[in-house]
Structure 1
Amino acid sequence: MKKTQALLGAVVMAAGLGVLAPAPAAGLGVFTQAPAAADPYCGQVWGSLMKTVPAMSKAKVVNVRTGQHYCFDRLVIDLNGPVAGYTIRYVPQVVQDGSGLPIPLEGQAFLQLTVNAPAYDDAGKSTYNPPNKSELADVTGYQTFRQVAWAGSFEGYSSLGLGVRARLPFRVQTLAGPGSGSRLVVDVAHFW
C-alpha cells in the first residue's frame, strides 16, 4: 500500500512540475516526457530563407487581409482562381514593381511578397486597388507585423511589402477556396 501511495505521489508531483505531459489521444493514460527547452517555438521549423514557386497564374489578386494567431501573425492574399506561383523573401528594402522605387516600411526586417498573378483583368481594369497603398491592413497590436504596404502590380506580378519586428521564420501555404478562388497564406512566427 505504501509503495502504491509513494508511486502515485511521485507521478502527481512530476506532472505538477511539468516533467510529465499527457501523450496524444492515441495513448490515453500513458505519460511521455514534455518537449525539451531546445524545441522550436510552437513546434515551428519554418526557417527564414526564400520560398518560391516559379509558375504563373491566370487568377487575379482581389484582396489582402491579415490575422493573428497564438504562435504567428498571418497575411492572406485572395485570388479569384488557383494560386500558381510566388516568391517570398527577406530583402534589405522592398521596392515598387516597375519603377524599383523603395517602399518605406516600419519594422526591423522586411519581406517582399510577390504573387505571380496580376491585380488587373485582361482589359487592364484593376481587380485590387487598395484605398491606402501604404497601409493595406491595420496591424496595430500585432506581435510580429509592423506594416503591410502595396508595392504594385506590373507585367503579371503583384507585390507587397511586409515590415516585421525582426527577421523571423515564416511559412507559405496555398489554400483552395472560398468557391473557385484560392489564397496565398504567409505566416510569420512571433519568435524563433
Structure 2
Amino acid sequence: MKNRSAATAIALVSVLVVAGCEEGARDDAAPTPTAGESRSADASVSASPEVSGPEESRTPEPGGSGGPGDGGGAASPTAGGDGGGSGAVPSWGTARKDGEAEGVDPALAPKLTAVRVAGHDAYDRVTFEFDGGVPAHMVAYLEPLHQPGSGTPVPVEGEHSVEVVLVGALPEGEYGGKEQTSGVREITKVGLFEGELRVGIGLDTEGDGRAGFRLVTEANRLHVDITHGASPV
C-alpha cells in the first residue's frame, strides 16, 4: 500500500516538471506576428523610396558662342546657299580664320577664276572659285587695307574691311565691283606679293561692331559667309 502511494507521488512530480519545462519553452520562443502586424511590415517595405537613376542628359540648344544667333543677333544661317558646304560647319566670329589647301597639285598653282556675291536671309556669301583646287588661305579684318610690300592704303567702300589672303594662287580673269549687297559693299583687288594673292571685302554692318564670318570649302570653291548684324564675339 505504501509502495503504491510513493509511486503515485513520484509520477505526479514527473508530470508537473515536464509541464513546467514545456511552458518555459513556449515563453522563450519568438512571438508570431498577427495578420495586422504582417500588413504593417509589408507596407513599410513598399513605402521605401526607389533608387533614382542618373539625371537625364540634356542636349544644348543650338546657337552657342560665336553663332550669329548669340546675344539676340540674327538667326544662325546654314551651310546651304550658293553651292552649299561640305562637312562640319565651323563657328562664326570676328577673329582671324585660316584654312589648309585642298585638292591642290603641288606642281601647279591654283588660279582664281571668279569671285561672286550672293545674299541670304541672315548672311551674305562671297564665293572664290578656283581652277586647280582651293589654296591655303587666311581671312581677317584689316582696317585700312594696304598694298603688300609698299604699304599704300587701298580704299574700299564700307564701314569695315576684311582681307582674304590666298597662298600660292594666281589671278585669272576680272573680278570686283561695288554695291554687291546691303552688307557686302565692294570686292577689290589688294595685290599679289611673294606668292600671296590678296582680295579685300568692304562691309556695312547692321548695328555697331564687326560682322561675324565663317569659312566653308567645297570642291574648287572657298565661301566666306558674313552675317548682316554685328557679332558678340
TM range (shorter): 0.5 to 0.7
Decide whether the 8 Å contact of 1:118 with 1:154 is kept in 2: no
Query: Deviation string for 1:128-186 (max 9, x for gaps)?
Result: 344xxxxx13435x22112111112223211111111131000111110xxxxx01111
Secondary structure class of the residue paired with 2:145? coil
Aligned to 1:70: 121
- 2-structure distance, mates of 1:112, 1:37: 24
- Segments of structure 1 that go 5 or more residues without pairing to the other structure are 1-32, 121-126, 131-135, 177-181
Query: Deviation string for 1:34-74 (max 9, x for gaps)?
Result: x9995552125511100013659531111111111111111
Q: Quick check: 1:94 aligned with 2:114?
A: no
**What TM-score comes out, normalization by structure 2 length?**
0.54
Decide whether the 8 Å contact of 2:135 with 2:169 is kept in 1: no
Aligned to 2:98: 52
Q: Are the structure 2 counterparts of residues 37 and 129 from structure 1 closer, same or farther at C-alpha, using a change threshold of 3 Å?
A: closer
Decide whether the 8 Å contact of 1:74 with 1:185 is kept in 2: yes
Q: Are the structure 2 counterparts of residues 92 and 189 from structure 1 closer, same or farther at C-alpha, using a change threshold of 3 Å?
A: same
Show the 5 A alignment for 1:69-148. Answer: 69-119=120-170, 127-130=172-175, 136-140=176-180, 142-148=181-187
- 1-structure distance, mates of 2:203, 2:166: 19
Decide whether the 8 Å contact of 2:178 with 2:185 is kept in 1: no
Secondary structure class of the residue paired with 2:75? helix
What is the number of residues matched between the two proteins?
Answer: 142
Matching residue within 60, 74, 79 for 1:41: 74
Residue type at the aligned position of 1:162: I
Aligned to 1:157: 196
Secondary structure class of the residue paired with 2:94? coil
The sequence identity of aligned pairs, in percent, is: 27
Task: After TM superposition, give the deviation of residue 110 of structure 1 in Å.
Answer: 0.9
Structure with the larger RCO, 1 or 2 (CA within 8 Å, 6+ apart): 1
Superposition RMSD on alpha carbons, in Å? 2.7
Q: Are the structure 2 counterparts of residues 163 and 37 from structure 1 closer, same or farther at C-alpha, using a change threshold of 3 Å?
A: closer
Q: Quick check: 1:189 aligned with 2:227?
A: yes
Decide whether the 8 Å contact of 1:61 with 1:117 is kept in 2: no
**What TM-score comes out, normalization by structure 1 length?**
0.64
Residue type at the aligned position of 1:128: G
Decide whether the 8 Å contact of 1:71 with 1:190 is kept in 2: yes
Residue type at the aligned position of 2:211: L
Aligned to 1:10: none
Secondary structure class of the residue paired with 2:154? coil
Q: Quick check: 1:61 aligned with 2:112?
A: yes
